[in-house]
């Protein structure tokens, strides 16, 4: 352990950081050690990481001093914030600033900041096709991360532009649903656009490739993706993979989706509209080839589905009233 480069992994108990923690822990001769950063050092996920050989340390993204301690002596930091815990762009930026300030204070040699594009750059400020949210954002969880890029300048940083997790289909109920007639349908406002998607755990695998490559990616922006697929293509693969006959795609308009009323419907409506209306810009910002080089275990949609068949199948069932 002593001669290994320590990576302080924020979000090690979650999807992105968990993928990186596992990549480090599953490669004991890779030269890196995993320091899992969490608020819940006694939680089951922290304990599981510890049992696999991770050092577990306590810190909170709202507390810069706790982050300075968590980063002390580390070679690298994997920096991710969780917008969906609070839904606030301003809080997300404040947490990112805390990470950057703490990384500077600790003198780390490589930070990977998990970011997304500034969707406001894709259209004029007076464009009326989608509402502004939280006063000045189109897609707050994208735009806030992009604004936060500036906090990391001056650090040896790699800006990692991530993609839509396929895992959202079962984690957040965004997948197809079985109707009372036993038929499956999938409502999304994505038209015929291809969506840049990825298995969530593969983001961490790509981040591990970036840490291993080191100097090559410092100061660079790297866009990662598993596969670009339309909803219809994913619907056909899901129907086949789950053995459920067919999944019909109900392509609604983003305006209708924003009005569905669940928490974050407006935010997701805007995000999906960005994917639909600015398909070429979104796809161009991510490279499957680079992702595969960074993470040779990168999964296709079909591979991901085979590994998560049970969860996806369960998520198609109607929620009991
Ligand atoms: N879903 C998607 O398709 C998608 C795609 C691209 C980007 N993203 C972005 O991914 C981010 C979420 O990452 P994820 O999916 O890996 O998260 P996740 O699985 O929901 O887990 C959240 C992680 O963040 C940690 N965390 C949250 N608040 C913290 C705080 N105040 N202090 C310390 N740790 C904190 C949690 O640690 P503890 O609870 O253990 O402390 C946990 O490990 C979001 O900002 C989202 O915008 C999502």
Q: Got the DSSP string for 159-218?
A: EEE--EETTHHHHSS-S-EE-TTS-EEEEES-TT--EEEE-HHHHHHHHHHHHHHGGGGT
Q: Is residue 252's pLDDT more than 60?
A: yes
47 lines ligand 1 (CB under 6 A): no
Q: Which residue's CA is the nearest one to ligand 1's atom 45?
A: 82
pLDDT at position 1 is 56
Residue 308 — very low, low, confident or very high, per pLDDT cuts 50/70/90? very high
Q: What are phi and psi of 79, to 5 degrees?
A: -110, 115
Mutation to probe ligand 1, out of 14, 62, 65, 92 (largest number of atoms < 8 A from CB): 14
Q: Which residue's CA is the nearest one to ligand 1's atom 22?
A: 14
Instruction: Please choose, from the candidates 212, 237, 230, the residue with its C-alpha nearest in 3D space to the C-alpha of residue 112.
Output: 212
pLDDT at position 18 is 98
Query: Rounded to the nearest whole angstrom, what is the distance from the C-alpha of residue 12 to the centroid of ligand 1?
Result: 9
pLDDT mean over 138-147 = 98
Instruction: Please choose, from the candidates 130, 110, 105, 108, the residue with its C-alpha nearest in 3D space to the C-alpha of residue 120.
Output: 130
Say which residue the tokens 């994917």 belong to.
Answer: 275
* Predicted confidence (pLDDT) per residue in 3-49, tens digit: 999 999 999 999 999 999 999 999 999 999 999 999 999 999 999 99
Q: Is residue 169's pLDDT more than 90?
A: yes
pLDDT at position 320 is 66
Q: Is residue 236's pLDDT more than 90?
A: yes
Cβ atoms of residues 72 and 127 within 8 Å: no
Query: Rounded to the nearest whole angstrom, what is the distance from the C-alpha of residue 275 to the centroid of ligand 1?
Result: 22
3-state helix, strand, coil in the chain (%, to 5): 45, 20, 35
148 lines ligand 1 (CB under 6 A): no
Rounded CA gap, 229 and 90, in Å? 32
Residue 318 — very low, low, confident or very high, per pLDDT cuts 50/70/90? confident
Query: Rounded to the nearest whole angstrom, what is the distance from the C-alpha of residue 30 to the centroid of ligand 1?
Result: 25
* Predicted confidence (pLDDT) per residue in 25-37, tens digit: 999 999 999 999 9
Q: Is residue 321's pLDDT more than 90?
A: no
* Predicted confidence (pLDDT) per residue in 260-287, tens digit: 999 999 999 999 999 999 999 999 999 9
pLDDT mean over 285-306 = 98
168 lines ligand 1 (CB under 6 A): yes
Query: Rounded to the nearest whole angstrom, what is the distance from the C-alpha of residue 141 to the centroid of ligand 1?
Result: 12
Q: Is residue 293's pLDDT more than 60?
A: yes
Determine if residue 195 is left, alpha or beta; phi over 0 gives left, psi from -120 to 50 gives alpha, anything else beta: beta
Q: What are phi and psi of 294, to 5 degrees?
A: -75, -35
Mutation to probe ligand 1, out of 56, 71, 82 (largest number of atoms < 8 A from CB): 82
162 lines ligand 1 (CB under 6 A): yes
Cβ atoms of residues 201 and 15 within 8 Å: yes
- Which residues fall within 8 angstroms of residue 7, CB to CB, at 6 or more apart? 20, 24, 32, 33, 34, 35, 74, 75, 76, 77, 78, 211
Query: Rounded to the nearest whole angstrom, what is the distance from the C-alpha of residue 81 to the centroid of ligand 1?
Result: 5
Instruction: Please choose, from the candidates 50, 108, 44, the residue with its C-alpha nearest in 3D space to the C-alpha of residue 79.
Output: 108
**Average pLDDT of the chain?**
97
State the closest ligand 1 atom to the C-alpha of 172, by its place in the atom list counted from 1: 1
210 lines ligand 1 (CB under 6 A): no
Instruction: Using DSSP, state whether 318 is helix, strand or coil.
Output: coil
Kindly report the CA angle at 36 between 89 and 208, in degrees rounded to 5? 85
Rounded CA gap, 217 and 214, in Å? 6
State the closest ligand 1 atom to the C-alpha of 17, by its place in the atom list counted from 1: 16
Beta-strand pair 227-229/195-198:
antiparallel
- Helices 200-213, 15-25: axis angle to 10 degrees equals 50
Rounded CA gap, 42 and 54, in Å? 13
Terminal Cα distance for the chain, rounded: 51
Query: Rounded to the nearest whole angstrom, what is the distance from the C-alpha of residue 58 to the centroid of ligand 1?
Result: 16
Query: Rounded to the nearest whole angstrom, what is the distance from the C-alpha of residue 108 to the centroid of ligand 1?
Result: 22
The structure tokens listed for 194 are: 């291809």
78 lines ligand 1 (CB under 6 A): no
Rounded CA gap, 211 and 214, in Å? 5
């Amino acid at each position: 352990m002593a001669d290994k480069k320590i990576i302080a992994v924020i979000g090690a108990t979650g999807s992105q950081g968990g993928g990186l923690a596992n990549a480090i822990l599953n490669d004991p001769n890779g030269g890196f050690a995993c320091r899992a950063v969490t608020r819940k050092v006694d939680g089951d996920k922290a304990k599981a990481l510890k049992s696999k050989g991770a050092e577990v340390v306590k810190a909170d993204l709202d507390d810069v001093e706790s982050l300075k301690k968590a980063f002390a002596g580390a070679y690298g930091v994997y920096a991710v914030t969780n917008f969906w815990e609070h839904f606030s762009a301003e809080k997300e930026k404040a947490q990112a600033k805390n990470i950057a300030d703490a990384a500077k204070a600790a003198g780390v040699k490589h930070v990977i900041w998990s970011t997304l594009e500034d969707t406001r750059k894709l259209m004029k400020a007076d464009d009326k096709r989608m509402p502004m949210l939280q006063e000045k954002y189109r897609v707050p969880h994208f735009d806030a991360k992009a604004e936060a890029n500036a906090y990391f300048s001056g650090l040896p940083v790699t800006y990692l532009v991530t993609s839509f997790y396929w895992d959202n289909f079962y984690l957040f109920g965004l997948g197809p649903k079985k109707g009372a007639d036993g038929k499956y349908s999938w409502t999304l406002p994505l038209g015929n656009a291809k969506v840049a998607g990825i298995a969530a755990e593969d983001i961490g695998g790509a981040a591990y490739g970036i840490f291993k490559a080191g100097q090559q990616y410092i100061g660079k922006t790297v866009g990662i993706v598993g596969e670009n697929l339309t909803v219809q293509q994913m619907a056909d693969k899901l129907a086949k993979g789950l053995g459920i006959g067919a999944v019909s795609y109900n392509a609604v308009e983003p305006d209708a989706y924003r009005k569905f009323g669940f928490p974050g419907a407006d935010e997701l409506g805007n995000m999906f509209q960005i994917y639909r209306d600015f398909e070429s810009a979104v796809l161009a910002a991510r490279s499957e080839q680079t992702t595969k080089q960074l993470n040779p275990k990168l999964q296709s949609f079909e591979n991901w589905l085979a590994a998560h068949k049970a969860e996806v199948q369960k998520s198609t069932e109607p929620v009991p009233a």
